[in-house]
Structure 1
Amino acid sequence: MSIKSSAGRAGAVLARPFHRDGAPTRLHPTSLWAEGSKVATLYVGPAAGKVRAWLDRWVRPALATVSALGAVVIGAVVVLWITGAAFGWQEAKVAALLATLLVLIAIAFILGNSMYAVKLDLARTRVAVGDSAVGSIAVTNASTRPVLPSALELPVGAATALFHLPRMGPGQVHEDLFTIPTTRRAVITVGPVRSVRADPLHLLRRQLMWTEPTDLFVHPRTTALDGPAAGFLKDLEGLPTTELSSADVAFHALREYVPGDDRRHIHWKTTARTGKLMVRQFEETRRAHMAVALSVNTDEYEREEDFELAISAAASLARQAIKEARELSVVTQRGPVRCETGKNMLDDMTRLAGHNRRGTAVDLARSLSDAVPNASVVFFVVGSKVTPSQLRSAAASVPPGVRAFAVRCYSGAKSARANIAELTVLTLGDLTDLAAVLRKAVA
């Protein structure tokens, strides 16, 4: 009876099996591990969760306030107290006492709560390279008592702007304006705005977040393609095909009437002259679908300025097509670029990063026919290191009947035009010359 009761208690803990005579068996290591895991899940897991929650709530915030210098001072306090107590050194005890007073004074500086209402406002969250992004920070004292002077920090990308707040009475508002220079294409994270409490020696530093971060898109520079350049792009629309149709806009020829033809297309003058019913026959037309293939392989560009020029040229072509409500596809070695709206397109262009392991311009041209099978005009935007033989290979991948252009971007170069087989090669040295370069394409 005692054996069975002990077996019951053991089974409650580890569910250990027993022989027929009541003797316990030896657990297999796998079974022992499984039973141990069950015990850990039942008892250790909840306890570890509570410990982790306690650490996240109290210990980690406290440790986050300690600077590198503060950690050295606190460590020195501990060592000096232990040394003074162990060896009876009065000098060590005095130094420990002074260091302890410094730490206590630093703690007094960071205690207390600031009741602020902070509003971060960017006038525009999307600007072009060279334009200044203007914003403001409005701070309101939301408490019922005055607050002492303090400081606010505003991270702007890798930099940090510092704003000094004066002594503010209850409900008082303090506003600061700031300007963010934009010298290059990037997505800049602005914020969050944080208030900082620190002691004069910066042993301890306490931060409070007041706003959420905001993304500032610095779009690539683009140029307007109005006037003759826009006319050139419009000429690419409505290209006729070799497919014949009984109803379209491009007249082809006359033929005899066949039952089922639309009588509205009967050409009565020819019918009266020949004595037979003659109907108009048309060539099918297709709406121009522009495809812009932008190479992001940095090995094909002489320098970084050339790569930025290529992005700006591709964005200008795409922006003009979107402005005219034409079908558009923009592809790179990193994948397609969104073209639903000009904002989406420029946002994706801003995020583009160069890479030298994403395939060459030739690889991009070969994949273009699969990505955009219905393209009627193709622009290859490449760097100056792309050789004529590579451009010839890229042109060979373009289906017959599709007009193809290559824009070679080389900062400082003189604009020029050349032909490689059916491919028109345009050299672009400055973004402002893009309209003139396009005019040379039909010269």
Structure 2
Amino acid sequence: MSSKSSAGKAVAFLARPFHRDGAPTRLHPTSLWAEAANVASIYVAPVWEKVAAWLARCVRPVLSTVSVLGAVVMGAAVVLWILGAAFGWQEAKVAALLASVLLLIAIVFILGTSRYAVTLDLARTRVAVGDNAVGSIAVTNTSPRAVLPSALELPVGAATALFHLPRMKPEEVHEDLFTIPTTRRAVITVGPVRSVRADPLNLLRRQVLWTEPTDLFVHPRTTGLDGPAAGFLKDLEGLPTTELSSADVSFHALRDYVPGDDRRHIHWKTTARTGKLMVRQFEETRRAHMAVALSINTDEYEREEDFELAVSAAASLGRQAIKEARELSVVTQRGPIRCETGKNMLDDMTRIFGNTRRGNAVDLARTLSDVVPNASVVFFVVGSKVTPSQLRSAAASVPPGVRSFAIRCFSGAQSARANIADLTVLTLGDLGDLAAVLRKAVA
């Protein structure tokens, strides 16, 4: 037997697993890397988890108290001490001593604990643009001793409000009121309330959170519409279909009686004249289904005010439909909006933001026809930059027999009405004119 074949058999024997089920053993690993990974998962991972937990529990709170200026002073103190000891520079030692004293004084300022009971209360968590959003912070000293004056911070969106607490006796309550500006549609995170201990130079800063954050929804402005959806639809009559029914509201014709028909629908006069039983046949009707397509492509709007006007107009139409218990669907380029309740719809309207990379009004119309195939009336709420040819293409996506309207939002423009084929185009310049503009559509 050659030496090459002998070596091959030896390698095959060493690679053969010890166990019969094919699992490699520690004496016969598949590779050194696999063995190292196995040892690391058994021994190193548990140790690292404990070290990470200790760092998060003990080290991170300490490091989080050091501000950027404090880190610079601390680093300078270390460097100056090294330079002074290495080269004998007395000036460096004096500067290092001064920096160390400043840090020690800062530590004294942040030491100690405060025992508070803090309550953050927003009068309303949902307001409209321009409404007053009022809240209060009530702080109770739960310590058996009096506490020194301190400060509380309240993050409100990207800003932070500062509240100064006076010296408080045990069980004393201090309350502050605040007002949140609601000039823009937004979801504002209020809180958490935090107490702050810091030195005069703000080298060290220790925070304690006392409450959970609360979301404040600033809904878009809406306006009421006169009458049932401005007189567009009538629930009682419904919209007739081509499907015949034996019982409904819309009478269609008479036919011969078939066993099983409801005898209440027998037309007795015709039965007496023809001598055979005749029953009424009806057309099925369906409840009005309003669909609103809101374009969020900001390239179609002249100004940001026009986009906000469009959001408010769409929200007003949806709110009126929900108020009258009509079926409603609201669609944007990002997809459908929840319309189960008025609160859900306005919450989703508040979260809407414009984007230039979204599809145009024509793409939105095609999406609407796919998402809401059974709509009985359609509103396209768009900007003033949408061209008549685009509106004509959008109207072509609407199934025949469905009433369609386009509301072009242009702040400051005069109310107007025009027709493009079967599409009624309305120009809206102010939200307060929406009801009047809709009345023009059926005038």
Q: Same fold (TM over 0.5)?
A: yes
Alignment match, 1:22: none
Q: Tell me, what secondary structure is at the counterpart of 2:102?
A: helix
Q: Distance in 1 between matches of 2:39 and 2:277?
A: 95
Alignment match, 1:322: 322
Query: 1:140 aligned to 2:151?
Result: no
| CA deviation string 1:382-428 (max 9, x = no partner) | 11111111111111111112111111111111111111111111111
Q: Please show how residues 426-441 of structure 1 align to structure 2 within 5 Å.
A: 426-441=426-441
Which structure 1 segments of 5+ residues have no match? 1-10, 18-26
Amino acid at match of 1:15: R
State the Cα distance separating 1:353 from its structure 2 match. 1.1
| CA deviation string 1:163-222 (max 9, x = no partner) | 000000111110000000100100000000000000011111111100000000000000
Amino acid at match of 2:292: V
Q: Distance in 1 between matches of 2:232 and 2:42?
A: 74
Q: Give the TM-score taking structure 1 as reference length.
A: 0.91
Amino acid at match of 1:79: V
Q: Tell me, what secondary structure is at the counterpart of 1:401?
A: coil
Alignment match, 1:299: 299
Q: Tell me, what secondary structure is at the counterpart of 2:118?
A: strand
Q: Distance in 1 between matches of 2:292 and 2:420?
A: 19
Alignment match, 1:15: 26
Alignment match, 1:243: 243
Alignment match, 2:370: 370
State the Cα distance separating 1:280 from its structure 2 match. 2.5
Amino acid at match of 2:245: S
Q: Distance in 1 between matches of 2:309 and 2:31?
A: 66
The worse-fitting range, judged by mean Cα deviation, of 193-202 and 393-402 is 393-402
The worse-fitting range, judged by mean Cα deviation, of 315-324 and 279-288 is 279-288
Which structure 2 segments of 5+ residues have no match? 1-17, 19-24
Q: Distance in 1 between matches of 2:27 and 2:243?
A: 82
Q: Tell me, what secondary structure is at the counterpart of 2:380?
A: strand
Alignment match, 2:5: none
The worse-fitting range, judged by mean Cα deviation, of 263-272 and 387-396 is 263-272
* RMSD between superposed Cα atoms in Å: 1.8
State the number of aligned residues.
420
Alignment match, 2:313: 313
Amino acid at match of 2:82: I
State the Cα distance separating 1:359 from its structure 2 match. 1.2
State the Cα distance separating 1:60 from its structure 2 match. 1.4
Alignment match, 1:160: 160
Q: Tell me, what secondary structure is at the counterpart of 2:31?
A: helix
Query: 1:122 aligned to 2:122?
Result: yes
Residues 237 and 250, structure 2, Cα contact 8 Å, conserved in 1: no
| CA deviation string 1:255-276 (max 9, x = no partner) | 4445554332232233334445
Q: Tell me, what secondary structure is at the counterpart of 1:130?
A: coil
Residues 110 and 204, structure 2, Cα contact 8 Å, conserved in 1: yes
State the Cα distance separating 1:358 from its structure 2 match. 2.1
Q: Tell me, what secondary structure is at the counterpart of 1:146?
A: coil
Q: Distance in 2 between matches of 1:338 and 1:407?
A: 21
Alignment match, 1:420: 420
Q: Tell me, what secondary structure is at the counterpart of 1:207?
A: strand
The worse-fitting range, judged by mean Cα deviation, of 208-217 and 273-282 is 273-282
Residues 322 and 341, structure 1, Cα contact 8 Å, conserved in 2: yes
Residues 333 and 359, structure 1, Cα contact 8 Å, conserved in 2: yes
Alignment match, 1:20: none
Amino acid at match of 1:36: A
Q: Please show how residues 17-56 of structure 1 align to structure 2 within 5 Å.
A: 17=28, 31-56=31-56
Q: Distance in 2 between matches of 1:441 and 1:215?
A: 39
State the Cα distance separating 1:299 from its structure 2 match. 1.2
Residues 229 and 435, structure 1, Cα contact 8 Å, conserved in 2: no
Q: Please show how residues 89-104 of structure 1 align to structure 2 within 5 Å.
A: 89-104=89-104
Residues 236 and 288, structure 1, Cα contact 8 Å, conserved in 2: no
Q: Distance in 2 between matches of 1:432 and 1:238?
A: 29
Q: Please show how residues 26-425 of structure 1 align to structure 2 within 5 Å.
A: 31-227=31-227, 230-234=230-234, 238-425=238-425
Amino acid at match of 1:323: K
Residues 415 and 426, structure 1, Cα contact 8 Å, conserved in 2: yes
Change (3 A) 1:244 1:46: closer
Q: Tell me, what secondary structure is at the counterpart of 1:218?
A: strand
Alignment match, 2:10: none
Q: Tell me, what secondary structure is at the counterpart of 1:206?
A: strand
Residues 237 and 249, structure 2, Cα contact 8 Å, conserved in 1: no
State the Cα distance separating 1:96 from its structure 2 match. 1.3
Residues 293 and 379, structure 2, Cα contact 8 Å, conserved in 1: yes
Q: Distance in 2 between matches of 1:91 and 1:252?
A: 106
| CA deviation string 1:325-356 (max 9, x = no partner) | 11111111111111111000000000011112
Q: Tell me, what secondary structure is at the counterpart of 2:45?
A: helix
Residues 229 and 436, structure 1, Cα contact 8 Å, conserved in 2: no
Q: Tell me, what secondary structure is at the counterpart of 1:53?
A: helix
The worse-fitting range, judged by mean Cα deviation, of 86-95 and 183-192 is 86-95
| CA deviation string 1:99-121 (max 9, x = no partner) | 11110000010011111110000
Q: Distance in 2 between matches of 1:395 and 1:172?
A: 67
Amino acid at match of 1:425: V
Amino acid at match of 2:26: A
Q: Distance in 1 between matches of 2:243 and 2:58?
A: 76
